[in-house]
């Protein structure tokens, strides 16, 4: 029983990390939403032909839809994390579904980025490769708390 409580406390700690990261991400996304929905062409003009491709992509209905869907998913996940935090405070294990959903959305976002984001060079640097590598690294780092919550929730399940 004590072992279960220990894992629930750890799950609660990592869930709080997810809440904080999620809130920070939501605030940044909300501040950037006007630029996301209506990108400033001048910003991308300095990047030459790659900038023109990026502007066209970012100004496309698909990119805007993906941004809005991502925002809605982020809000939904935050609500789930708050509900999970409440359950964890009560000493109960929450559903693992929101955490799996977060991992799934992370993978889907990466795939969309690899497929949809234009490739090109700026000042001899392959910008698409740079973007892909930084996306993978940041996704792995941000997925660590999600994975730790799932692990501790599994460990908190009573053995039968």
pLDDT at 44: 79
Convert the pLDDT of each residue in 87-137 to its tens digit. Answer: 999 989 999 999 999 999 999 988 888 787 766 656 666 666 777 788 888
Domain spans in the chain, listed from the N-terminal domain onward? 2-155
* pLDDT of 145 strictly over 90: yes
Global confidence as pTM: 0.84
User: Helix or strand or coil: residue 60?
Assistant: coil
**Gap between the Cα atoms of 114 and 39, Å rounded:** 20
Partners of residue 126 on adjacent β-strands? 121
pLDDT at 38: 86
Convert the pLDDT of each residue in 52-62 to its tens digit. Answer: 888 888 888 98
**Gap between the Cα atoms of 52 and 41, Å rounded:** 8
């Amino acid at each position: 029983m004590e072992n279960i409580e220990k894992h629930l406390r750890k799950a609660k700690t990592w869930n709080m990390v997810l809440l904080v990261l999620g809130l920070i991400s939501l605030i940044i996304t909300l501040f950037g939403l006007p630029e996301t929905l209506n990108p400033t062409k001048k910003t991308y003009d300095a990047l030459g032909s790659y900038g023109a491709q990026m502007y066209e992509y970012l100004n496309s209905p698909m990119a805007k839809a993906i941004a809005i869907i991502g925002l809605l998913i982020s809000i939904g996940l935050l609500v789930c994390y708050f509900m999970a935090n409440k359950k964890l405070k009560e000493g109960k294990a929450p559903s693992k579904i929101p955490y799996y959903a977060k991992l799934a959305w992370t993978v889907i976002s990466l795939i969309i980025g690899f497929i949809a984001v234009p490739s090109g060079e700026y000042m001899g640097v392959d910008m698409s490769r740079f973007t892909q590598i930084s996306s993978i690294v940041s996704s792995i780092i941000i997925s660590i708390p999600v994975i730790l919550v799932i692990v501790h929730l599994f460990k908190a399940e009573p053995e039968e």
